[in-house]
Amino acid sequence: MTVEVKNYELFSAVRVTDSGPGISEEEQAKIFGRFYRASGAWQAEGVGIGLCLTRQIAEKQGGYVKVESMPQRGSTFSLFLPREAGSRTPHQI
């Protein structure tokens, strides 16, 4: 897994990339729904609320979350949060 932070003019992005099983394009539209768990995730811990909460928190902050993934190739989740020039220090993202 890799974590990367990048600053853009209007947003700061936190990108997390894994080498897991990936997510099909059809499932990508569903994974941010509350309590959604992929059919192959039954053996993993969790209840299916993490991505939903992440999306809700990002939206409340004026940001958004997106996923890029292909089956058998891993996934990259990107969290974009707005930057406010001069009003935030790096630890307050």
What is the predicted pLDDT for the residue at 92? 52
What is the predicted pLDDT for the residue at 42? 64
What is the predicted pLDDT for the residue at 87? 47
Q: For residue 76, count other CB atoms closer than 10 A to its CB.
A: 15
What is the predicted pLDDT for the residue at 29? 85
Please, what are the domains in the chain? 2-92 (3.30.565.10)
Whole-angstrom distance, CA of residue 43 vs CA of residue 23: 16
Two tokens, residue 1: 């897994």
**Within the chain, which residues score under 70 in pLDDT?**
40-42, 47, 85-93
Q: What are the start-end ranges of the H helices in the chain?
A: 25-28, 50-60
What is the predicted pLDDT for the residue at 38? 74
Whole-angstrom distance, CA of residue 66 vs CA of residue 53: 13
What is the predicted pLDDT for the residue at 41? 67
